[in-house]
Amino acid sequence: MRIDKYLWCIRYYKTRSIATEAAKKGHITVNGQVAKPSREVFPTDKITLRKDQINYKLVVLDVPLNRLGAKLVDLYRKDETPAEAFEHIALMKLSKEHYRANGTGRPTKKERRDIDDFIGDDFDNENVEEI
């Protein structure tokens, strides 16, 4: 089975065309070699793919005939991705929240109107100098 079809069948990519593009960009390797989308996959092959800033490591146990349900995926692959990769993503999400909290930044129109109502109309007239 082709590598793009295999990764689509075991639900690592939502569509087969996305899997094909990932292979063309060099994000997928089979047994340490960059794989083209048409590369055949056999049992015991080791696949490494980069998706969402995580390097997934898989071992092919068997080749499915068609796309599988999510519960059956473990029959056809063994996931050897280290847990540190997923922890790294969680830390990155926390660090992004540290720099900018949700809701801060420029005020929305509603917030600006509320500020104008709170300050009042006299504020605009005080800052204007007469010539």
> pLDDT at residue 100 above 60?
no
Pick the CATH number of 3-82 from 1.10.3720.10, 1.20.1250.20, 3.30.420.40, 3.10.290.10: 3.10.290.10
- What does the pLDDT read at residue 125? 53
pLDDT tens track for 103-125 = 677 777 887 888 888 887 655 55
Whether the pLDDT of residue 87 is over 70: the answer is yes
> Residue 119 has what pLDDT?
85
Kindly state the helix (H) or strand (E) to which residue 23 belongs, with its residue range.
helix 16-24
**pLDDT tens for each residue of 21-80:** 999 999 999 999 999 999 999 999 999 999 888 899 999 999 999 998 989 999 999 999
pTM of the model: 0.67
Burial 33-46 (b: 16+ CB within 10 A, else e): eebebebebeeebe
**Kind plus residue range of the DSSP H or E element containing 46:** strand 46-51
